A and B are shown apart, each in its own frame.
Chain A
Amino acid sequence: EAQVTQNPRYLITVTGKKLTVTCSQNMNHEYMSWYRQDPGLGLRQIYYSMNVEVTDKGDVPEGYKVSRKEKRNFPLILESPSPNQTSLYFCASSLWTGASGYTFGSGTRLTVV
């Protein structure tokens, strides 16, 4: 089944403790992206990647890092999480950036206390 898989689905952590949210897709998509969803703010892009070893900042990249060492994986790294990074995170992938539409993962709900 074609899908984007995120792990974990839920995570509660403490301020400053490094964490990684994994994202993997099995559709051989070039393009992958991370979004966060917050009440009243919709979906805001954190980082995106057009292909292996090519990443770029989205609208809200501060406090996040990403890497794209393999085509299928695009982990999101929070080196020193803070409470304002409490949010619902979605990974997405597509064949290319715009017209083909994105396939989203099921989301990761992160709480930083």
Chain B
Amino acid sequence: DQQVKQNSPSLSVQEGRISILNCDYTNSMFDYFLWYKKYPAEGPTFLISISSIKDKNEDGRFTVFLNKSAKHLSLHIVPSQPGDSAVYFCAASHSGNTPLVFGKGTRLSVIA
């Protein structure tokens, strides 16, 4: 049973517009959430995170929103740039001794 779901395998956005990537989770014990970005031929790299005590975390062009009641988080990228084209993975953890659980990823294409 998938505990972290990214239901959109791909997303295309025009350069300069907002990209919104969505992630849903089923395990109510998760209390820490992360987004990773992956370019072809490279390993995933950490992008931004949020703990369950917050509902928003911002880092430059990237903002993650957490809606605990809906078990939903989203990553907003504003403005989108061609270099943002990559696969984005959502991940979740129950803080302490549980490994990260990853979603299947969403491929973002930013079109110039």
Which residues of A does B touch, CB under 8 Å?
4, 31, 33, 35, 40-45, 48, 50, 58, 90, 92, 97-99, 101-107
Question: Which residues of B are found within 8 Å of A98, using beta-carbon distances?
Answer: 32, 93-100
Roughly how many angstroms separate A40 CA and B6 CA in the complex, as a whole number?
Answer: 11
Find out whether the CB atom of B44 lies under 8 angstroms from the CB atom of A104: yes
Find out whether the CB atom of B97 lies under 8 angstroms from the CB atom of A97: yes
Q: How large is the interface on B (under 10, 10 to 19, 20 to 34, 35 or more residues)?
A: 20 to 34
Which residues of B does A touch, CB under 8 Å?
6, 9, 32, 34, 36, 41-46, 49, 51, 89, 93-100, 102-105
| Interface of A: prevailing SS | strand
B46 to chain A, nearest CB (A): 4
Question: Which residues of B are found within 8 Å of A44, using beta-carbon distances?
Answer: 102
Nearest A residue (CB) for B101: A45
Find out whether the CB atom of B104 lies under 8 angstroms from the CB atom of A104: no
